[in-house]
Structure 1
Amino acid sequence: MRTIGRFLFLLVLAGFGAGAAPAATLDSSVAVTDPATLQALERGGLSISRLLGPAIGLTRDVDNRGLFSVRALTPVRNAVKQEIADEPAASPDPYVAGLAKSKDTSQKFNPKYIDDNGSTLDLTGVVNRMDRGYLGHTECGEIRLIYRFHYSVEEKPGERVSSRLPLTMSLVFNAKPTAATGRASKDRPRAADGSCADVARRWLAAGGKDLAPEQLAAWLRSDEGPLSGAMLNSSQIMRVELNMQVLRLSASTRRDFGGHAEYLLKIFKWDPATATFQESRMENQIDRKTVLADRQAFAKWLLTDRNIYDLDRGRLIVDDKFLATSAVSVAPGGMARSQNNIAYGLLDDAAVDKALKDYVARGNALRSIKSVAGFNLRLNEMSCTGCHQTHGIAGFHYTGADPASEPRRNAVFVPGSAVFFADLPRRLAIVEQFAAGEHPDFSKGFAARPDAKFADALKGTDLYNGWGSICYRGTDESFKDWTCGEGLRCAGVHESAIHPGFGTCVSEAGTAVGDPVEFGEIRMSKWGSDQYCRLSPATAKACAIDPARDKKPPIKLAGYGAARQRYDNPEQKTGGFPGGMLRKASCDKLPDEASCGRLAKTGFNDCIGSGKDHKYCTREFTKTAGLRACDKTHPCREDYICTAGYEDLAEAKPGKGTCIPPYFIFQFRVDGHPRSWVQDTEE
């Protein structure tokens, strides 16, 4: 109970927000997420340029500007620009691919930002991934430093526009320090002993520190800390992982889903011989073309006792010969979207069923996968595309929170998704096992539902079976225990033939702020080509949806409003609310689940599209409303994001953010940003 107790204590502290003790922001010895601490760490040596410097001969000490022009990252720059150019023509969705005929590029990531000298990468998270120690290439797992892309341009003389963009780049390190076996130096002091136990103990010690951000950052980088020069340096660099939005269509353009976004995922491994990051195959990202060319070979490889065992425990590593070097996931709709199910149709269900039964008949036990449906879901969610779109935040599981200096209308409050925070007890248990000198249990439950053995650690939060959680309403043995907590029901917001029976936990009466107000199903004409069908508004005839499917609030609630996608009236330019959202029209007499926040109002999209500074648009074209309150332990529904609270609104609840669609946040959309400017010159 030691792990559970400590984790609950830190979760309670995290819920108090700004008034919490500094130690609570360390997220239980498995992540550093506090913006002020991260800024101090970046100043103290964890800027990406300083970390890469010794490996690539970079002379700039701290300045991150123009990083993609550095030779080591040139392959990354070139690959990204090519992928942007290829999208949307490469999309399997005919609707999206058809946009390639248009010369309008305003809906795509502007590649000019990649080359701009004023673009930087901000450190937004340090994540301890010792739970990946089962992979073989590193016995102690990995440490990930996550950076967000940030631009600053002078669009007009004297008018500078800056914002983050939806692009994260993770610099991944081998958690096992190499300095311990080498010669110590001023910049690289000798580690305590270089063991996995030593790494783990340092992280556990960090979790108990009660220090202000500057002092905490200094301790983390000290000889005692887990991020000292001996424990984290350029000799441990393994790869760069990229996740970026390459395309976003507005709700008035892609009306059935209330918008559409595509996210590019790529991996570049470090090549010491050339001192560059080179494009590589992606872990568990199945290449459909390769497998479709020889499905029998893939099935023969996968349906062995060894691989069934590893898949069941969440530890499968797909053979390189079946893997892709690039992937694109789509939103909204999460795991219900066919493009996010990369393994769909690659295996014969009868063959899988037989393999599972034979596996059990030989005396083997299955923990998670107890059916063909369980096998298929597990295989898909272990891929990059399936994982990133399982209850993610606009295609990400970690975005980082924004510092206090960022305008609240463009600021993220909760740095990670529900999946990220729900997995922390498992990761912490592994760190403690390493620290004790034990062989860790690396098994894990489904991404969509944490392992039941950690349910007690998540009690009192919404991270296990609370509001917004992924749930199941069928009888399949793999998922029948995926229920909702007291006062909640499992609602099918995005039904799917690929994963039937799955839904979202919402209030029993459907009258809580934040509840969905539209229900329907995603229909696939072919893999990658989906349509969202619902009763309201005006889609029943075209899609033949059962009228009972759209469960609007049963009574007219005085003072409440339903934010809908308004697929029927694109001229209003409203929408962008996946599944719709119940809100309070004003901030008076807010219920417990709500806080006072701001939403876009009529004219917002026109303002953004006109090229005006986002600070002006979010100031002039937003309105106050009672929205779903959120924090680390009470996340938003899938396809929504927890934005910063508003200290200037008297009705806003301290320590709480509010849930809104992510693309109402300027930094999570590639459209609306400056398209032309004068290139900054390096100082």
Structure 2
Amino acid sequence: MASRELGEASIGGRNILRAFTSRACRAPRAAIAGGLAVLMCAAAVIPLKGAEAAQDPVRMVLDRPTLTTLESRGFAFAALLGAPRAATLAELRSASPIYADLARWIADDVKALRAEMAANRRPLHEVTDDNVGRIMDLRWLASPLASFRLIGVVNRTDRRDFTALTDQPSCGEVRLIYRLAYHFQRGATTYASRLPVNINAVFDGPRGPDGACPDLARIWTPPPALSGSAEMAEWLAAGPLRGLSLRQIEVNAQVVRLPSGMETELGGQAIYLMRVFRIEGDHLLPKPLENTPDVARLSKDAALKARLVDYVRSHLPEIDRGVYQLPDAFLAEKALSFSTFGSARTANHPFASLFTPSDFAGLAYEQLSYVASPAGLIARLDDNTCTGCHQGAATAGFHLIGFDEPGTSPFNVVKVPVSPHLHADDARRRAYLSALAEGRTPETFRPLSMTPPADWSRPGLPAPRAAAATMACLLPQGETALRMSWRCGEGFACEAIAHNPRLPVGTGQCMPKRATGIVSGMACLSGELVPGAAPYLDRFRIVRQINSPAPSASPSSYTCRPAKLGVPGGSAYRQCTEAERALAGKGASGDQRPPEICAFVGGKAFDLCVATDNFAKCMSASVARGNRPACGEGRFCREDFMCQALPSNLAGAAAVAKDTGYCSPTYFVFQMRIDGHPDPERGVP
């Protein structure tokens, strides 16, 4: 899709944020901001590093109170679709023909996928206690308990590089990101959660009276006198968000989840639907997905496929830099993305599904700055597709998740609201805006989305930093595919966890070279993906066990927890010591944060809780203590895991929880799964 909103250490080691003096701004979430010029705590946050940094433009707004105020100022999802009084999706579907059409498109796609999977002996159910597939309950799209909440405002001035190549050039884009959520009361209990469905409203920034683009860096720079969320929201509404023109609506929705008890080797699966629409009158019309080829159509049309090869060959410099637009004739209007091990699934690599390196042999790779071989070219093309972006250093299929609402169950709270890719890419966006502010031509190059953070403040293409433990890396045979590759940090080496020999450039995770580097939560099973007749029929063949020398669990050594427990790639596991259970000496941040922390793991009681569709009531009694990787600002979780907040009611956790979360398998976090929630119409009895 056109968006990569759908983050790791402070930029250049500098924390350039200042929180204004508001009691709310002392909230723990302020610590996550790192080097991002974003609003992330409970009051306004703006950059500050000397007089010049006070002029740093805002790039993201994630602060929950600011976003809530913006919704009341006309930026609620219902207001965008012409029904500002609609408080729920039931009301919105009745009041907005546009939303009714959007819900119909999603429903039709979900029904078609359901029929296809049933024909392949994968029946799906909305509600079930069995180890069978689960599908999105379409009643959520018209639920009296739910709405789409604003979770982020993103300044994408840099997207003007892409729109300049279309028939609708713009002065950059502004993205309002909305996420499906419900909130209701039953007696004294609050039931509140989000669900893994994002809608991205993409706007073009207005041109000046003379038709030229205004000073975008200045427009996005807040005045230094702002002192709170309300003032920031007012400034945004009257300034950067004023006069926007809606270009398109993008959908990224988890629509199928196959539980780990059913997918015992893969540790579960999920399928995500991606669509892009333009509004015409009261209806939506699908748009081609940016740079995403229609694999089914091209596979059947040799002439069209040959034309695509010719186009790539004749536009090599643009593709090398990562800024290009494939013609609509080649593109799909719908895409499905598959996890777990999404970065290695063939279906998420449409160019690798269509072509081999021999199709792009003999090109002048020696004249390029980034791509060094035919294999590297296919990897570059795949990374710029919707499915490649969707699984490129993402978090459970999303790049922006946002902060949770008050009242969310303490076992269902996200600690880090952005993906590793979005965090790393923020430094590039900051440098882009800085160049505009200084009257320089911005650097337009984009690296692969899994690339570690880099220092973009200097001229020329930046070299990526070394990748941290468990982060994505290129296997040794793939390092020569790109001119600017990266290595794992000291003491670590790149190892394939889910090897796919059908991909021209193999990727892995940074694993410890010695046993002393093992940490709970690291993968303990290395294997190979075996393709099925359909992507959801893929299998995982275990090749060997790693990172787990002990035959059984103990507080002193690591054993291997199998994937069937819901941990893709298995999970190295060590029991907590008594001191670790008390969280003794764990209150640190940044590089001083401990590598692992005694947090929570699932078990039989967890599985029973899942089956109740009422996790808010049973969750606290359904989890057991166990070591997990520590995460937070400057440290992310491996693929198929995400950073979850420590529950506020955990004894001794207050000092630790401010800066540290723990890595959980993504589908252990209820808001990241489409199933297991209350009834969309009745709630709970």
TM-score normalised to structure 2 length: 0.81
CA contact (8 A) 1:134 1:442 kept: yes
Amino acid of the residue matched to residue 603 of structure 2? K
Amino acid of the residue matched to residue 481 of structure 2? S
**In 2: Cα distance, 1:471 partner to 1:662 partner:** 21
In the alignment, which of 61, 65, 70 is matched to residue 32 of structure 1?
61
Q: Secondary structure at the match of 1:66?
A: helix
In the TM superposition, what is the alpha-carbon distance from 1:147 to its structure 2 partner?
Answer: 0.5
- Given the alignment of the two structures, is residue 226 of structure 1 paired with residue 240 of structure 2, yes or no? yes
- Given the alignment of the two structures, is residue 564 of structure 1 paired with residue 561 of structure 2, yes or no? yes
**In 1: Cα distance, 2:282 partner to 2:492 partner:** 54
- Given the alignment of the two structures, is residue 504 of structure 1 paired with residue 509 of structure 2, yes or no? yes
Residues 63-212 of structure 1 aligned to structure 2 (within 5 Å): 66-69=91-94, 70-90=96-116, 97-100=120-123, 107-135=134-162, 136=164, 137-152=168-183, 161-175=191-205, 177=206, 180-181=208-209, 196-205=213-222, 211-212=227-228
TM-score normalised to structure 1 length: 0.82
2:15 maps to 10
CA contact (8 A) 2:399 2:422 kept: yes
CA contact (8 A) 1:241 1:268 kept: yes
Residues 426-575 of structure 1 aligned to structure 2 (within 5 Å): 426-450=428-452, 454=456, 465-476=467-478, 477-479=480-482, 481-499=485-503, 501-509=506-514, 510-525=517-532, 528=535, 529-534=537-542, 545=543, 549-554=544-549, 558-559=555-556, 562=559, 564-567=561-564, 574-575=565-566
User: CA 1:77–1:563 in 2, change beyond 3 Å: closer, same or farther?
Assistant: farther
Q: Which moved more, 1:196-205 or 1:516-525?
A: 196-205
**In 1: Cα distance, 2:596 partner to 2:343 partner:** 27
**In 2: Cα distance, 1:6 partner to 1:552 partner:** 31
Amino acid of the residue matched to residue 68 of structure 1? R
**In 2: Cα distance, 1:581 partner to 1:303 partner:** 47
In the TM superposition, what is the alpha-carbon distance from 1:665 to its structure 2 partner?
Answer: 1.2
Q: Secondary structure at the match of 2:15?
A: helix
In the alignment, which of 329, 341, 350 is matched to residue 358 of structure 2?
350
1:187 maps to none
In the TM superposition, what is the alpha-carbon distance from 1:264 to its structure 2 partner?
Answer: 0.6
User: CA 1:380–1:424 in 2, change beyond 3 Å: closer, same or farther?
Assistant: same
User: CA 1:576–1:88 in 2, change beyond 3 Å: closer, same or farther?
Assistant: farther
Q: Secondary structure at the match of 1:660?
A: strand
Q: Secondary structure at the match of 1:603?
A: helix
Amino acid of the residue matched to residue 377 of structure 1? A
In the TM superposition, what is the alpha-carbon distance from 1:451 to its structure 2 partner?
Answer: 7.8
User: CA 1:450–1:512 in 2, change beyond 3 Å: closer, same or farther?
Assistant: closer
In the TM superposition, what is the alpha-carbon distance from 1:194 to its structure 2 partner?
Answer: 8.0
2:329 maps to 321
CA contact (8 A) 2:126 2:136 kept: no
**In 2: Cα distance, 1:383 partner to 1:63 partner:** 33
CA contact (8 A) 2:431 2:456 kept: no
1:539 maps to none
What do the CA deviations read for 1:180-221 (whole angstroms, capped 9, x no partner)? 54xxxxxxxxxxx98545222222447x77743333323323
- Given the alignment of the two structures, is residue 261 of structure 1 paired with residue 265 of structure 2, yes or no? no
User: CA 1:566–1:116 in 2, change beyond 3 Å: closer, same or farther?
Assistant: closer
CA contact (8 A) 1:488 1:505 kept: yes
**In 1: Cα distance, 2:116 partner to 2:315 partner:** 32
User: CA 1:584–1:204 in 2, change beyond 3 Å: closer, same or farther?
Assistant: farther
Amino acid of the residue matched to residue 63 of structure 2? D
User: CA 1:12–1:162 in 2, change beyond 3 Å: closer, same or farther?
Assistant: closer
In the TM superposition, what is the alpha-carbon distance from 1:406 to its structure 2 partner?
Answer: 1.8
Residues 384-395 of structure 1 aligned to structure 2 (within 5 Å): 384-395=386-397
Structure 2: give runs of 5+ residues left out of the alignment: 1-8, 20-25, 41-46, 48-57, 587-592
User: CA 1:302–1:428 in 2, change beyond 3 Å: closer, same or farther?
Assistant: farther
Amino acid of the residue matched to residue 555 of structure 2? A
In the alignment, which of 193, 217, 226 is matched to residue 233 of structure 2?
217
User: CA 1:250–1:351 in 2, change beyond 3 Å: closer, same or farther?
Assistant: closer
1:614 maps to 615
CA contact (8 A) 1:127 1:143 kept: yes
Amino acid of the residue matched to residue 369 of structure 1? V
In the TM superposition, what is the alpha-carbon distance from 1:239 to its structure 2 partner?
Answer: 0.8
Q: Secondary structure at the match of 1:343?
A: helix
**In 1: Cα distance, 2:387 partner to 2:441 partner:** 30
CA contact (8 A) 1:267 1:281 kept: yes
In the TM superposition, what is the alpha-carbon distance from 1:624 to its structure 2 partner?
Answer: 2.6
In the alignment, which of 367, 370, 376 is matched to residue 378 of structure 2?
376
In the TM superposition, what is the alpha-carbon distance from 1:527 to its structure 2 partner?
Answer: 6.5
User: CA 1:418–1:212 in 2, change beyond 3 Å: closer, same or farther?
Assistant: same
User: CA 1:159–1:628 in 2, change beyond 3 Å: closer, same or farther?
Assistant: closer
Residues 622-633 of structure 1 aligned to structure 2 (within 5 Å): 622-633=623-634
Q: Secondary structure at the match of 2:215?
A: helix
Amino acid of the residue matched to residue 286 of structure 2? E
- Given the alignment of the two structures, is residue 276 of structure 1 paired with residue 283 of structure 2, yes or no? yes
Amino acid of the residue matched to residue 240 of structure 2? P
Residues 282-361 of structure 1 aligned to structure 2 (within 5 Å): 282-304=289-311, 305-354=313-362, 356-357=363-364, 360=366
In the alignment, which of 666, 670, 676 is matched to residue 666 of structure 1?
670
User: CA 1:336–1:212 in 2, change beyond 3 Å: closer, same or farther?
Assistant: same
In the TM superposition, what is the alpha-carbon distance from 1:377 to its structure 2 partner?
Answer: 1.1
What do the CA deviations read for 1:4-43 (whole angstroms, capped 9, x no partner)? 9976433787999446599964377211122233223223
CA contact (8 A) 1:627 1:659 kept: yes
- Given the alignment of the two structures, is residue 50 of structure 1 paired with residue 79 of structure 2, yes or no? yes
CA contact (8 A) 2:88 2:146 kept: no
In the TM superposition, what is the alpha-carbon distance from 1:679 to its structure 2 partner?
Answer: 9.3
User: CA 1:67–1:597 in 2, change beyond 3 Å: closer, same or farther?
Assistant: farther
CA contact (8 A) 2:173 2:203 kept: yes
CA contact (8 A) 2:180 2:198 kept: yes
Q: Secondary structure at the match of 2:179?
A: strand
In the TM superposition, what is the alpha-carbon distance from 1:259 to its structure 2 partner?
Answer: 0.6
**In 1: Cα distance, 2:225 partner to 2:261 partner:** 49
**In 2: Cα distance, 1:101 partner to 1:442 partner:** 44
2:5 maps to none
CA contact (8 A) 1:514 1:659 kept: yes
CA contact (8 A) 1:595 1:653 kept: no
**In 1: Cα distance, 2:437 partner to 2:38 partner:** 22
In the alignment, which of 253, 256, 263 is matched to residue 244 of structure 1?
253
Q: How many residues align?
A: 617
CA contact (8 A) 1:197 1:436 kept: no
Amino acid of the residue matched to residue 435 of structure 2? Q
- Given the alignment of the two structures, is residue 655 of structure 1 paired with residue 628 of structure 2, yes or no? no
CA contact (8 A) 2:125 2:135 kept: no
In the TM superposition, what is the alpha-carbon distance from 1:678 to its structure 2 partner?
Answer: 4.2
User: CA 1:243–1:210 in 2, change beyond 3 Å: closer, same or farther?
Assistant: same
In the TM superposition, what is the alpha-carbon distance from 1:158 to its structure 2 partner?
Answer: 9.2
What do the CA deviations read for 1:456-483 (whole angstroms, capped 9, x no partner)? 99xxxx9851123211232442248321
Q: Secondary structure at the match of 2:159?
A: helix
CA contact (8 A) 1:196 1:434 kept: no
2:43 maps to none
2:599 maps to 597
User: CA 1:452–1:634 in 2, change beyond 3 Å: closer, same or farther?
Assistant: closer
CA contact (8 A) 2:526 2:545 kept: yes
Structure 1: give runs of 5+ residues left out of the alignment: 182-192, 535-544, 568-573
User: CA 1:160–1:507 in 2, change beyond 3 Å: closer, same or farther?
Assistant: same
In the TM superposition, what is the alpha-carbon distance from 1:248 to its structure 2 partner?
Answer: 0.6
2:6 maps to none
